[in-house]
Amino acid sequence: MIKKIIVPIGLMLVFILNGCGSAASPVSGPTPVPAAGGRYVIGYYPAWAAERNVFVANIPANKLTHINYAFSNVSASGECVLGDPTADVERVYSAAESVNGQADPKSAAFHGNFNQLLVLKQKYPNLKVLISIGGWTWSGNFSAAAKDDASRQRFAASCIDLFLKQYRGVFDGLDIDWEYPVSGGLSEGTADDKKNFTALLGELRRQLDELGAVDQNHYLLTIAAPIGPGNIRNIEPGAIAALVDWINLMGYDFHGPWDSTTNFNAPLFRTSTDPGDAGLNVDAAVQTYLSAGAPAEKLALGVPFYGHGWAGVADTDHGLYQSAIGAAPGTWEAGSFEYKDIQKKYLTTYQRYWNAEAYVPWLYDPASKIFISYDDPQSLEAKAGYVRDQGLAGVMIWDVSQGDETLFDAIYKGLEAGGPPRPTLAPTVMVPRPFEKEIHSISGIILDGRLSDWSSAPDFVLNDPSQIVYNLAPNSWGGPQDLSAKAWAGWTPDGLYFAFQVLDDIHVQPNADSTLWHGDHMELQFDTLLDKDYSNPGMNDDDYQIGLSLGDLASVPPVVYAWFNGPNPAGAVSLIQMAYKVTADGYIMEAFIPKEALAGITLAEGSTFGMNVSASDTDNAAQGQKVMLSTSAIRTYADPRTFGKIRLVK
- Of the candidates 130, 1, 128, 145, which has an alpha carbon nearest to the alpha carbon of residue 65? 128
Report the C-alpha gap between 354 and 290 in whole angstroms. 29
Asked if 556 and 516 touch (Cβ cutoff 8 Å), the reply is: no
Q: Backbone phi, then psi, for 467, in 5-degree steps?
A: -95, 5
Catalytic residue among 79, 97, 179, 203: 179
**If you count them, how many residues does the chain have?**
650
**The one-letter amino acid at 150:** A
- Point out which residues pair with 184 in neighbouring strands: none
How far is the CA of 565 from the CAs of 467, 546, 558, 608, in angstroms? 25, 8, 18, 19
Report the C-alpha gap between 170 and 164 in whole angstroms. 8
Report the C-alpha gap between 546 and 235 in whole angstroms. 23
Report the C-alpha gap between 233 and 229 in whole angstroms. 6
**The one-letter amino acid at 308:** H
- Point out which residues pair with 491 in neighbouring strands: 441, 496
- Point out which residues pair with 485 in neighbouring strands: 462, 502
Classify the C-alpha dihedral 133-383-220-293 as positive or negative. negative
**The one-letter amino acid at 130:** L
Cα pseudo-dihedral 76, 77, 80, 81, rounded to 10: -60
Asked if 130 and 173 touch (Cβ cutoff 8 Å), the reply is: yes
Cα 488 vs. chain centroid, distance in angstroms? 37
Helix (H) or strand (E) holding 197: helix 193-215
DSSP state, 161? I
Classify the C-alpha dihedral 38-204-173-408 as positive or negative. negative
Q: Is 416 in the active site?
A: no
Asked if 306 and 379 touch (Cβ cutoff 8 Å), the reply is: no
Positions marked active-site? 179
